[in-house]
Amino acid sequence: MSNLTLAIGRPTLADRFFARSLVTDVILVAAGAALTAIAAQLVIPIWPVPITGQTFAVLFVGATLGATRGALSLALYLVLGVAGLPVFAAGGHGNLFGSTSGGFVVGFVFAAALTGWLAQRKWDHKVVGTFVAFAAGTVVIYAFGLPWLYTVLGTFPAATMTKFFGTTNVLQATVQGGILPFLLGDLIKALIAAAILPLSWRLISRADARKNES
């Protein structure tokens, strides 16, 4: 029973601290969902998509847990929010289909999977590799979030679009509301990760070296 695990593939940062087992993996998956829920409450409430700490949490969970556990963790987060727990941004919850942020939340699952997959290939051991992995995960989130946002914005009256965006052009509004406010934050998050994760691996390597010498 102790050999059962949700983790598939090469070890990640979490595996250097916790032995793989089904119980440990379930705890880590739940912890990743909880971390994302907490980060979602760090919010700047702009419309149509709020600025939160979610993206960093999502990609960090993927990088530290790996593709499978990372994706499961964010899938759990999504399910809990849809089921009614206030885990989305600013305590939001419920049906995502009419939400301007819904596609971004769905994209979290796939972004965590990609970042985790890259981490399992040691991209997170290097500064540039970590930065690129986080940038790639961010692109995945946009790939799901922007078409969803475009579709939802297309259902709003022209007066609402003009009020918030100064235009009735849905594509322009999508760029204004779904990309431009986040670019600087995405860059900062990737830079923070590029500093933290490779440093963590270096510290682990040094600890291993000291252990081998003793």
Does the pLDDT of residue 1 top 60, yes or no? no
- Bridge partner list, 190: none
State pLDDT tens for residues 46-57: 999 999 999 999
Distance CA 66, CA 181 (A): 29
Residue spans of the domains in the chain: they are 13-203
Specify the CATH number of the domain 13-203. 1.10.1760.20
Return the pLDDT at 5.
87
51, containing H or E segment:
strand 51-52
pTM (two decimals): 0.95
State pLDDT tens for residues 189-210: 999 999 999 999 999 999 988 8
